[in-house]
Amino acid sequence: MVITDDIRYVGVNDHQIDLFEGQYIVPNGMAYNSYVILDEKITVMDTVDVHFTDEWLGNIKNVLGDKKPDYLVVQHVEPDHSASISAFVNEYPEAVVVANAKAFEMINNFYRIDFGDKKLVVKDGEEFSTGAHTLKFVFAIMVHWPEVMFTYDSKDKVLFSADAFGKFGALDVDEEWDCEARRYYIGIVGKFGMQVQNVLKKAAELDIQTICPLHGPVLKAPLEHYLAQYNTWSSYGVESEGVMIAYTSVYGNTKKAVEILAKELEDLGCPKVAVNDLAREDMAECVEDAFRYGKIVLATTTYNGSIFPFMREFIEHLTERNFQKKTIGLIENGSWGPMAAKIMKDKLANSKDITWTENNVRILSSVSDENIEQIKALAKELV
């Protein structure tokens, strides 16, 4: 695949993987992207997952023919991008591996490779010429690991953005960018909003026409939409107007309350009501929705002196990702000693800028007439 006159795609699609990073379902697979920059000196940008090393080396050979790469730039040491470094070094022993000091430390921890003198340590902001192209390394610490750096090619105005702007899904499956990019971002980088904001500020100083991420499609100008989405996600802003309801239900009574609330919200003109059954839907989709909307309702039962496990897990996913800037309403259910609302509130006590609704709902086993009035009041307050 041709990206620009001098840049070629040499990545691979993975349809074998069951769980990305051991936790995320990827129904449309995953792409591990890698690129070659053709110049006086030839540069390969990152490697791929260990299961695709041969295919990747074959892709490089298809592009280069008899020529050999001079450099391998390693922007990120997570094994989905670094696991083929050893194979590359064996195949091209004259090539120099370019990375920052932290990355070399991590490569050593993972792979114990002795690069000898075929190693170039670069610093933040350092520039590096391959002939007609100048590559500038822009450190992107904690997007998503501490060694991560972006690489800007000022000749072709291309930003190699490591994991940033990536998404779930292989490249041979056609699907919209936003949904799987959002699930990927919130799941994997969601905690590091401040660091993403910092790197977006650095990126704003560059004239970027193309973004080459390590996952997902190459993004071409106009790039405003992708940059705006990243700005919203990393600033914990509201992407979509509406209300997200996350619930668990044991015998259907909490679910009934949620359905009444959803109908009430729709009748009041709420632009979107996103209802998520935490026990049955992909947890990463539920988490993504909680970050997407500004207004959230959490509905669960009191269970073993705490709350239902799926809700406990859900709230942990939120808080560990710096969940903040939300309006939250609560529906609790408990047959003899409801305490779910208090527990949910306590679990979110350290989240910043949370507005709790004045109207909440306390169900004693099944939905009562009084509960219906409480639900209507909550709906009214949210809309």
Catalogue the long-range contacts made by 111-114 (C-beta closer than 8 Å, 24 or more residues apart): 111/82, 111/85, 111/86, 113/85, 113/86, 113/89
Shortest reach from residue 213's CB to ligand FEO, in Å: 9
Shortest reach from residue 82's CB to ligand FEO, in Å: 9
Contacts for 36 with CB less than 8 Å, ≥ 6 apart: 7, 8, 10, 42, 43, 44, 45, 60, 63, 64, 69
Instruction: Evaluate whether 165 touches 150 at the Cβ level (below 8 Å).
Output: no
- Angle at the Cα of 185 from the Cα atoms of 181 and 190, rounded to 5 degrees: 160
In the numeric block, the tokens 């909550």 are attached to 378
Instruction: Evaluate whether 151 touches 73 at the Cβ level (below 8 Å).
Output: yes
Shortest reach from residue 109's CB to ligand FEO, in Å: 15
Closest CA to 43 of 149, 163, 134, 130: 130
The contact set with ligand FEO (CB under 6 A) reads 76, 78, 80-81, 144-145, 163, 214-215
Closest CB to ligand FEO among residues 46, 70? 46
- Report the residue closest to ligand FEO, judged by CB: 78
Instruction: Evaluate whether 299 touches 247 at the Cβ level (below 8 Å).
Output: yes
Closest CB to ligand FEO among residues 115, 145? 145
Shortest reach from residue 257's CB to ligand FEO, in Å: 39
Shortest reach from residue 305's CB to ligand FEO, in Å: 38
Closest CB to ligand FEO among residues 73, 245? 73
In sequence order, what DSSP letters do the residues of 124-176 get, joined into one string?
Answer: TT-EEE-SS-EEEEEE-TTSSSTT-EEEEETTTTEEE-TTTT--SB-TTS---
Catalogue the long-range contacts made by 111-116 (C-beta closer than 8 Å, 24 or more residues apart): 111/82, 111/85, 111/86, 113/85, 113/86, 113/89, 115/89
Closest CB to ligand FEO among residues 9, 247? 9
Closest CB to ligand FEO among residues 80, 153? 80
First to last CA, the chain: 48
Closest CB to ligand FEO among residues 142, 383? 142
Closest CB to ligand FEO among residues 214, 290? 214
Closest CB to ligand FEO among residues 181, 297? 181
Shortest reach from residue 300's CB to ligand FEO, in Å: 32
Shortest reach from residue 215's CB to ligand FEO, in Å: 6
Shortest reach from residue 194's CB to ligand FEO, in Å: 18
